[in-house]
Chains A and B, each alone.
Chain A
Amino acid sequence: MSVALKMLVGDRLKYLGLVAGIAFAALLITQQASILIGLAHQTGSFIRDTAVADLWVMDPQVRFSQDALPIRDTTLERVRGVEGVRWAVPMYQGFLKARLPDGTRVTTILIGIDDATLLGGPPRIVRGTLADLRGDNAVFIDEAALDTKWMQKRSGGRGLRVGDRITINDKDAVIAGTYSASQSFFWEPITYTTYTRALRYAPPERNLMVFTLVKVDPGQDVSAVAERIARTTGLDALTGQQFIERTAGYILKETGILVNFGLAVGLGFVIGTLIAGQMLYNFTLDNLRHYGALKAMGAGNWLLVRMTMLQVLTVGALGLGIGVGAATYLGRIVGEAGLAFRMPWQVLAGAAVAILAICTLAGLLSIARVLRLEPAIVFKA
């Protein structure tokens, strides 16, 4: 088998070409899959950041976390009356227009949280305290978006600061503090305020509550409580994980992201297979006389199959390592830039399986040629 490896690495140019082909395929597959998973992960950021709730009660037609379909205000009391519910609080959510001091207009996702408890608020406060939300016209905005999404473009580019006054739907608001949250799939910045004030900012509608957040009594089975809430209200009661999955599923399917990234991953697989297959096949053709000589000298087909597979698996392992390494490095760069990139072990395992499949396919092409080879070829000049 050492002969197989020396045959492989002896021809440096072809060897490096093979490794580069596999590495490129591994990079493409891993990077695209990681971005897709990163995007899918980001679709659930808001839900994940509102970890205080065991259950989210919503209209059954809600398809994703920012799909603001109001439910009746009376739902809150009905949910509170369900056995096993420790507490239930209202949450408003809606896309509203904000006007910055210089006149710049920004669309924001306004979240209204329970006035009394402030449950469901931002995950980490950066400036101010959560209690500051109770101040006059107080709102909290995303610290990371101060100089980007909240940039006052019309006056030369200063971001918002604590204390700045803006209007939301033409009603006064004051930046009372900032928070930090997970990177979101949705572009619009999230603004937190109290539920009552959110209703004041929101355009008038018959019903305005979008979610009821529920905490289940200790020792209670969450799914059983969810079932009771659904039976009592006729609404959906989802755990955070279920809501995340519904959101990710909808976004991935309905936006075409899954198809686009799936195509890119598939393309990586096909390109990798073609490059590796073609190069390996050429490598085999170039060495056909040597394989013929080995056959004449007593090398059986099984030995030649093992030699070929050792060669393809060697370049596969090296290519996978280099490709995944490059993808990780790229991921770190785009991750620092706040872009979606997430590489769980399943991506690595999937890439390894894909590369193994590429190598096996490429190897089979070569093996078929070697197996068909007549050893008598060695006597042909």
Chain B
Amino acid sequence: MSTAAAQPAPSALPPAGAPIAIRCRGVTKHYGSGDARVVALRGIDLDVACGELMMLVGPSGCGKTTLISVIAGILDRDAGECTVFGDDFAAMSGRARTRYRGRNIGFVFQAFNLIPTLTAAENVAVPLMILGEGRAAAVAKGRDMLARVGLGDRARSLPSQLSGGQQQRVAIARALIHGPRLIVCDEPTSALDHETGHVIMRMLKNVALQQDRALVIVTHDARIFGFADRIARMDDGRVERIERPSATGAESA
């Protein structure tokens, strides 16, 4: 287990003076027990500032998805500290944690996870309906949000009637509609071609990222590294180094 160091792992630091959105210190997590025990996180130290787009990269099984799940409060850590805008999920009841996620976190999934029987506008409206907003008002806001991601004319389309890129834009609209402060994305471009991937990333950066928000993206896709403010390279459950995209040789945004 890592010591709770005052400074995160080597290299790039978050922008000076920016408020911290995510703070992880010595976060550990394992799955299974006995011979089947697998250590997924071995003491993660990581800070993400407000207004920052942080990418978590690394080989499969290095703990990226586990870390993003812990940060988003959908997986319990074993030890260490992890706060989101100063709030610690471990200190919350299950119900409070669920409510907190609903209000403050937006999700973009690799497989989009749109409900196939709902229209695009209805899919976008789901987070608002979960928060208790009436269906009609929520769907109206969903249509407005779709217009912001360039899909105003596809509000009545079912996911099966949309291309992969359009589905991911719907998913982004869904992640943003309730004004979350943290947006977590799991491989948002892996199912998309190069050009569409760039469109999606530009949209995430332009529409989702604001000064009071943070964006954490798990990805394998080196083509989009250039969109990150910082990149945390992970391996074997550890953050090996944190660097800026210019130092990675990644494509420029």
Contacts and interface: CB of A to CB of B under 8 A. Distances in A.
Among B95, B98, B129, residue most surrounded by chain A Cβ atoms (within 10 Å): B98
A6 B127 contact: no
A295 B105 CA distance: 12
Contact of A289 (B74, B113, B131): B113
Interface in A291-307: 292-300, 303
Contact of B75 (A3, A10, A298, A374): A374
B102 A10 contact: no
A379 interface: yes
A44 interface: no
B107 A3 contact: no
A7 interface: yes
Contacts of A10: 116-118
Q: Of residues B103, B115, B186, B218, which shows the largest number of chain A Cβ atoms within 10 Å of its Cβ?
A: B115
A299 B98 CA distance: 7
A375 B130 contact: no
B72 A3 contact: no
Given A378-B107, A378-B109, A296 B122 contact: no
B241 interface: no
A205 interface: no
Contacts of A254: none
A243 B101 CA distance: 69
A379 B69 contact: yes
Interface string A351-381: 0000000000000000000000011101111
A66 to B, nearest CB: 61
A346 interface: no
A3 B129 contact: yes
Interface in A277-313: 289-290, 292-300, 303
B111 A289 contact: yes
Interface string B81-108: 0000000000000010011111100010
Interface residues of A, number: 26
B186 A379 contact: yes
Nearest to A293: B113
Interface in A1-27: 2-3, 6-7, 9-11
- Chief secondary structure at chain A's binding surface: helix
Interface string B144-188: 000000000000000000000000000000000000000000110
Given A6-B117, A379-B65, A379-B68, A297 B127 contact: yes
A123 to B, nearest CB: 59
B46 interface: no
A295 B72 CA distance: 12
A303 B110 CA distance: 25
| Most interface-central of A7, A290, A379 (chain B CB within 10 A) | A379
Contacts of B68: 379
Contacts of B65: 379-380
A379 B126 contact: no
Contacts of A293: 107, 109, 113
A6 B126 contact: no
B75 A294 contact: no
Contacts of B131: 298
A297 B115 contact: no
A377 to B, nearest CB: 9
Given A6-B118, A10-B116, A379-B186, A296 B74 contact: yes
Given A2-B135, A376-B74, A300 B98 contact: yes
Interface in B186-233: 186-187, 218
B110 A381 contact: yes
B117 A297 contact: no
A306 to B, nearest CB: 12
B98 A295 contact: yes
A7 B75 contact: no
Given A378-B107, A378-B109, A379-B68, A298 B99 contact: yes
A3 B122 contact: yes
Contacts of B101: 296-298
Contacts of B127: 297-298
B217 to A, nearest CB: 12
Which of A294, A297, A300 has the most chain B CB atoms inside 10 A of its CB? A297
Contacts of B122: 3, 6
Contacts of A375: 74
Given A300-B99, A376-B69, A294 B126 contact: yes
A296 B111 contact: no
Given A3-B115, A381-B111, A299 B130 contact: yes
A271 B11 CA distance: 65
A298 B98 contact: yes
A3 B187 CA distance: 26
A298 B75 CA distance: 14
A91 B98 CA distance: 79
Contacts of A381: 110-111, 187
A379 B118 contact: no
A5 to B, nearest CB: 9
Given A374-B74, A379-B65, A290 B113 contact: yes
4 closest Cβ pairs, A-B complex: A298-B102, A10-B117, A375-B74, A293-B113
14 contacts: A2-B129, A3-B115, A11-B117, A290-B113, A294-B126, A295-B74, A297-B102, A298-B98, A298-B101, A303-B130, A374-B74, A379-B186, A379-B218, A381-B187
Interface of B: 65, 68-69, 72, 74-75, 95, 98-103, 107, 109-111, 113, 115-118, 122, 126-127, 129-131, 135, 186-187, 218
Given A295-B98, A299-B98, 6 more contacts: A6-B115, A297-B102, A298-B130, A299-B102, A379-B65, A381-B110
